[in-house]
Structure 1
Amino acid sequence: MTINLFAKQVSGLLSPAPSQAYLEESYAPEMLAAIGTLFGLAMICVLLRVYVRVVMLKVFGVDDWLMMLSAVLSVACFSSFAALTHVGVGHHVEYFTYVRPDHRKRFFEISWWYAWILVAAYSSIKISIACFLLRFADHRRHWQWSLYAMIVILILFTIGSVLSLVLQCLPIQAAWDFNLRPPTGNANCYSTTTFRNTGVFNSVFNLATDLILALSPMPIIWKIQTDLRTKISLCIVMGLGLFTCGVAAYKIPLQFHFFDEKDFLGRGAWYYVWQQTEMNVGIIAACLPTLKPIAASFLGTVSALTSSNRYASRHPTTGPSRPNASNGYIRQAERSGTRSYAMKDLNCSNEGSLNGSAIDKEYLESGVAHTTHIGRVSCAAGSEDSILPAQKGIMRTVEVEVS
């Protein structure tokens, strides 16, 4: 993203003076509503991701920290845009000439901050996604090195892009104080053409990296030893990055012609909306694959409640009832001597031998219900479903999910 820190003054562009209704017209409410909606959804996804990683899985990786950084930068971008609407963005360009000429300098100063913060946000999202994909790259050396190379390239690109925006004028203050530029000053700044071409190059680079990060996981996901439905759902979720690519592709022509738009505060300002749409959709797409434990827990609870209600309607009981186990993982019959079923994870060692879970207390009394454990055996060589009859008794199991 680049903001044109314009080489021309706005004063005196149009005469005679437009009508009062035209000067008061503003697109700012619509822009804030569009950006705010996606911004809110993105922040919800980030908070849910933090909940899953910290509370449910108790693991917080580098990719999660980078996504937290992306969220902070997204907050900064949204706040900067809200500040821009207070100094003229959304109004027509004549607003600076006939209504608030004193807001012009403040507009360019906020735009200077907004430009490089947005670039940093884009890159932090991509680096977070690359670090997340490293989780799937075990035992795939070529894939690991490709992701590491992508991360290094993104870091170098970000440093170069941020510096090009920060140092677009020397002294830096000339980026928003036009009095420091010729003819009244001697500051050196990029030309409009240089600024435009640099920005378009950055956008094309971002589009290319978006495509790579969205499509490259597909072959690896397809090789995961799981059912077809899970593979398809994972590919769809990871493929949400393609929507980000679509937004980026739509934004590039707008950026190329941005400096040709005389009404850069009004009609041209919708470019800001597409910038933040690309950023927030990227955050959402990066967070959704990490929210599967919440979806699984919710669906399991719904399934348990539905099954329990169906069972109760068919087999009414008298007297006080005892609740079934929660989370949809355990359904246990009420009467002694019957057979029940429980979900359990069964892990294997590297050699493939079955490792049983520890039983804290065991009561082997006659008349206690038989229990069958239904679970998934996870080994180094793969995984398989299993149904194992358990001994008579009551067993307390502790589920540990490792990410």
Structure 2
Amino acid sequence: MSWFSLRADLPPMENAGPILMVVLGILITIAIITTSARIYARIRNRIFGWDDAMMLIAVAFSIARLAVEIKQSQYGNGKHRVYLTARQYMMINMYGWYGQIFLFTSVAFLKVSIGFLILRIKDTKAFKILVYSLMAGVVFTNGGVVIILLAECRPAGFWRGSSAKCWPSHVRIYSIYATIAFSVTTDLVLSIIPLFIVWKVRMPLKTKVSVCCLMSLGLVATGFGIARAASLKGPTTDLSWTYCIAAIWSNLELFLGIIAANLAIARSTYSYIFGRRTASQSDSHYKVGSPSASAGEIFLSQKLRADRCDERATTVDSKNINRRPSVPRSDHSDVGLVPDNGIQMKMEFWLKEEEIEMQRQHR
């Protein structure tokens, strides 16, 4: 019988480290696969944007976080402090310090990526102000925690113990609470608003429901963010155990956020890679000029001309006949869009999705 088993006041000899490693292995694999497919399709379609660049940076920092968590596990991360040597505990906290920096940096880039992705769907002035404000708040709160982690001790690193002069630990902990609270709020807003936008888009109900379900996956990550905040209430004298539990929730929040953002555009990615539509009826139509035209990536590089469309409707509006109109012109015609006689003509073009998909595959 060991000496530890004779101590009734000791915590159980348990280890959450293997659970953390299994969760990490599964999540990082799915995140890398979905991100790679997304970036490949975006580059091949020539629509690589800021949202994709930010996602790549977020994934890079998440991989760096994975590396330091593997190092932590080698020193016994996930065990209670009493079962670790002083050196093991110090090394776990040192790598944990780096892991927190990578975590908050990755979360910031992830939220910014989601913001840019949503701006592809709707980019009105009021909506831009809202999304950019949320993005700025995310950068400020997560960046603030990183600055606190770097500045709270001299020399840097709370793991140094009495050899370092540090601020009170509650400064760091409360800043993390504030960051999590703002992050959860941002997740709710960025997950719910696109649902209303997509629901108004003219597309088959089956496609609409599937897209909304994919976008709502971000709400699952929000729930894990709340769980992470709750897990930080554990004892600060047993960080090898407390922070390992918090790391499980934070990794679920981070990687599910990455996966959800990639799956939100999975339909266009899958269609490009496998060369076929996956969630649409064969006779579905999208009306150019409707909300779907700005929401669907398939319209981003289309150049519409009347002589290339089989179906079109023309309406005439003469209510402004006494008003002298301006004479705007299209990029591919010398004919003014508003005739000189004051009669305004509007043409509506309808394109079949399979025709657009065929054009994209032959570009």
Measured against the shorter chain, the TM-score band is 0.7 to 0.9
Size of the aligned set, in residue pairs, is 303
CA distance in 2 between partners of 1:220 and 1:381 (Å): 25
Aligned in 2, Cα 1:347/1:68: closer, same or farther, shift over 3 Å?
closer
Matches within 5 A, 1:42-81: 42-55=31-44, 57-81=45-69
Check the 8 A contact 2:191/2:218 in 1, yes or no.
yes
Check the 8 A contact 1:23/1:94 in 2, yes or no.
no
Check the 8 A contact 1:123/1:155 in 2, yes or no.
yes
Q: Which amino acid aligns with 2:221?
A: T
Higher Cα Rg, which structure: 1
* SS of 1:172 mapped into structure 2: coil
Which of 278, 282, 285 is residue 253 of structure 2 equivalent to?
A: 278
Q: Which amino acid aligns with 2:198?
A: I
Q: Which residue of 2 aligns with 1:289?
A: 264
Which of 133, 149, 162 is residue 118 of structure 2 equivalent to?
A: 133
Check the 8 A contact 1:23/1:95 in 2, yes or no.
no
Q: Which residue of 2 aligns with 1:113?
A: 98
CA distance in 1 between partners of 2:96 and 2:358 (Å): 53
**Is 1:32 aligned to 2:16, yes or no?**
no
Aligned in 2, Cα 1:113/1:348: closer, same or farther, shift over 3 Å?
closer
TM superposition shift of 1:268: 5.8
Matches within 5 A, 1:1-400: 17-19=3-5, 26-55=15-44, 57-96=45-84, 100-138=85-123, 140-173=124-157, 175-181=158-164, 187=165, 189-255=166-232, 257-259=233-235, 263-266=238-241, 269-296=244-271, 298=274, 300=276, 349=304, 354-356=306-308, 384-385=350-351, 399-400=359-360
* SS of 1:384 mapped into structure 2: strand
CA distance in 1 between partners of 2:13 and 2:229 (Å): 30
Check the 8 A contact 2:218/2:260 in 1, yes or no.
yes
Identity of aligned residues (%): 22
Q: Which residue of 1 aligns with 2:316?
A: none
Structural RMSD (CA): 3.5
Structure 1 length normalisation: TM-score? 0.66
Structure 2 length normalisation: TM-score? 0.73
1:289-311: per-residue Cα shift (whole Å, max 9, x none)?
A: 222124335483899xxxxxxxx
CA distance in 2 between partners of 1:382 and 1:215 (Å): 31
1:258-301: per-residue Cα shift (whole Å, max 9, x none)?
A: 236x6542476222111111100000001112221243354838
Aligned in 2, Cα 1:266/1:302: closer, same or farther, shift over 3 Å?
closer
Check the 8 A contact 2:92/2:240 in 1, yes or no.
no
Q: Which residue of 2 aligns with 1:393?
A: none
CA distance in 1 between partners of 2:143 and 2:277 (Å): 47
Check the 8 A contact 1:348/1:355 in 2, yes or no.
no
CA distance in 2 between partners of 1:347 and 1:355 (Å): 14
* SS of 2:4 mapped into structure 1: coil
Check the 8 A contact 1:238/1:285 in 2, yes or no.
yes
Between 192-201 and 81-90, the greater mean CA deviation after superposition = 192-201
Check the 8 A contact 2:28/2:255 in 1, yes or no.
yes
